[in-house]
Amino acid sequence: MTMRKALKQLNGERRKFSGVFVRMGQKPGWKGRTLTTVLLKDIKDARGKIVSDHLWFNLTKEFENLTLKEGVRVAFDARVKQYYKGYQG
């Protein structure tokens, strides 16, 4: 089973994951605003199995409150859901 297929099987479920912080990024948002994003790599489930090589997240208050430095492993709870690449508005 490929990594992303493992996530697809969890669609709609809230689980514990961890990933290694790589860098911040930006994406276009509503009405020309820019949204800050967080890139994590080597996403693992609670058992330590890699479920994705990387994922982008919106910068939430929880991420904002962390001291994120390249290489730091971050643990988080997340609901798995389908996403569409790029701005959809």
Higher-scoring residue by pLDDT: 8, 40: 40
pLDDT for the residue 47: 95
The pTM of the full predicted model, rounded to 2 decimals, is: 0.83
Q: Is the pLDDT of residue 50 over 80?
A: yes
pLDDT for the residue 2: 53
Higher-scoring residue by pLDDT: 7, 41: 41
Torsion region of 3: left, alpha or beta (phi above 0 gives left; psi -120 to 50 gives alpha)? alpha
Local confidence band at 6 (pLDDT 50, 70, 90 cut-offs): confident
pLDDT for the residue 87: 59
